[in-house]
Amino acid sequence: MLKKGLFVIASLVLVAGTSFAKEVNVEDLEKKYWAPKEQKYSVVQSRPFTKEKKFHLSVTGGPVMFEPASKGYNAAVNLGYHFTERFGVELEYNHYMMEDNEVQVAIIDKNGFYNHGQADAFYGANFRLVPFYSKMSFFGRKIIYFDMSFAAQLGMLQYTPQFSATSGVAEETKTAIAFGLDISQNYYLTKKFAVRVDFKTRFHNQEIIDGSTTGAGTKEKDELRSLTNMNLGFTYFL
């Protein structure tokens, strides 16, 4: 009796499986659940805050970092335009307020001097790429949208060579081509305003002036120098 019952159950399962295989089209399943290999998808995300075809004005400021013989602050103004959400350009002006740092003061106290140039101003253009756009929760109470962008910079840097500890002589301002990288984030408060954070590094070829008694005022060498600053401010979308 038991063998007969198992035979009946096995027969029913076989018949049901055959009927199911006839009804199910494997190609339909593939089309529904597996995309063709050559098909490409992009992530779609709503953008309550947009930049495309908009001008913006940014005002920021902050400390100058990693200078070997100087310290100080800078203030920057950026005027830009975004062709799309991903690409844009900016015109930038930076003003620097620099002075001798503790290292230079200690060297002067020992009757020495670190010959270098103090930055005065930068003006140039930024070519901006915005690969990241996202949102985050602020203490679980507010959703904040932000983007992160990278900019290649090209412009002119004005600096004043410092080369004499005894007479305090500083040669007239010089200008050098500067290039660098700017990493920025905008945290959107409204459709018009955002908090902006910048990390800027620029490289330029600097003339080092001889401050010795025998060759005072003559060029000693050219040196590739970097100028880094961290800025905080606001962006207004026009």
User: CB–CB of 93/119 below 8 Å?
Assistant: no
Rounded distance, CA 4 to CA 66, Å? 88
Sole residue written with tokens 């905080």: 232
Q: Is residue 4 part of a domain?
A: no
pLDDT (0 to 100) of residue 171: 65
Residues 192-230 pLDDT 10s? 999 999 999 999 999 888 776 665 667 778 889 999 999
- Domain with 200 in it: what CATH number? 2.40.160.20
Mean pLDDT in residue range 133-142: 84
Q: Is residue 34 part of a domain?
A: no
DSSP class of residue 39?
A: -
- pTM, 2 dp: 0.75
Q: Is residue 152 part of a domain?
A: yes
Tokens (6 digits) for 133? 């756009």
Tokens (6 digits) for 180? 């660098």
Rounded distance, CA 214 to CA 123, Å? 36
Q: Is residue 12 part of a domain?
A: no
Q: Is residue 2 part of a domain?
A: no
Q: Is residue 92 part of a domain?
A: yes
- Residue span of the structural domain in which 74 resides: 52-237
- 3-state secondary structure (DSSP) of residue 214: coil
Average pLDDT value for the chain: 83
176 strand-pairing partners? 157
> What's the sign of the alpha-carbon dihedral 237, 59, 62, 209?
positive
Residue 234 confidence (pLDDT) above 90: yes
- DSSP alpha helices (H): ranges in 154-208? none
Domain count, the chain: 1
Q: Is residue 39 part of a domain?
A: no
Q: Is residue 95 part of a domain?
A: yes
Residues 97-124 pLDDT 10s? 999 999 999 988 888 888 888 999 999 9
